[in-house]
Amino acid sequence: MKIRERQTSHMIDFLFPLALFFCFAVSAIVLILMATGIYRSTTESSARNHVGRTALAYVSEKLHQGDADGDVFIGALGEEPALVLRRQSDGGTYCTYIYEYEGALRELFLKEGAEVPPENGSVIAEIKAFSMEKISDGLFSFVCREESGETLTHLVSVRSQSAGGTGHE
């Protein structure tokens, strides 16, 4: 009879640590799978926001670089509305146009008055839509809709007194 008790005791001594290890392994796998899902959704969200935020930061920086008295305004490149940054250089007047065309935010640098089709602009970022509005003297609103459908809005203030018109002033 003692032999049987001894064998049962040994069986429990073996099964309990095995069951404990199994529970630990399953918990670790579940935790890793959950962490992977959270990491994936965070990186996807970050990547989605990156395009729109980068485009808006680019526009904001270009606007501040071109901030001069009356040389920043919302105009047009052909039929496309555009942020226009006008600058005097080498005896001529040149304009940088920032606009949305065919699903991309684009930039084009031209001599003032030159006629160039909007598809010639350099692509800055692939976006769904981009709009701009003069809120008040020196304050612009830019709205970027990303391919994911998320909409980002950015307000930018220029420091020059008469900046922010809607055409050549």
pLDDT tens by residue, 46-95: 776 788 889 999 999 998 888 876 688 999 988 889 999 998 887 889 99
Which of 102, 63, 61 shows the shortest CA–CA distance to 80? 102
Work out the burial of residue 165: count CB atoms within 10 Å of its CB; fewer than 13 is exposed, 13-18 middle, 19 or more buried. Answer: middle
164 pLDDT more than 80:
no
φ, ψ of residue 51 in degrees (nearest 5) = -65, -50
pTM for the structure as a whole: 0.69
The torsion of the CA quartet 36, 38, 39, 41, rounded to 10 degrees, works out to: 120
Residue-wise pLDDT tens digits, 114-140: 888 999 999 999 999 999 999 988 889
Split at pLDDT 50, 70, 90, the class of 4 is low
